[in-house]
Amino acid sequence: MDTIPVLYRSSEILAKASSLKEEVIMWRRDFHQNPELGFEEVRTSERVAKHLEGLGLEVRRGIGRTGVVGLLRGRQPGPTIGLRADMDALPIQDQKESAYRSTVPGKMHACGHDAHTSILMGAAQFLSQQARPEKGNIAFVFQPAEEGLGGASEMIKDGLLSAYNIEAMAGLHVFPGLPTGQISAVRGVSCAAADRIRINIIGRGGHAAHPHQAIDSVAVTAEVLSALQHIASRQVNPLDPVVITIGQIQGGSASNVIAPEVELLGTVRTLNPALREQMPGKIEAVVKGVTMALGASYEFDYHFGYPSIVNDDQMVDRLLVTSDQVLGHGKYQMVTPSMGGEDFSYYTEHVPGVFFRLGVGNPEKQTQYPLHHPMFDIDEDALPVGIAMLSALALNYLGQ
Active site residues: 88, 146
Is 191 annotated to bind a ligand? Reply is no
Q: Across-strand partners of 168?
A: 81
Non-local CB neighbours of 319 within 8 Å, separated by 6+ positions: 170, 183, 185, 332, 354, 356, 389, 393
Is 113 annotated to bind a ligand? Reply is yes
Residue type, position 6, single letter: V
Is 111 annotated to bind a ligand? Reply is yes
Per the annotation, binding residues for Mn(2+) are 111, 113, 147, 173, 372
Per the annotation, binding residues are 111, 113, 147, 173, 372
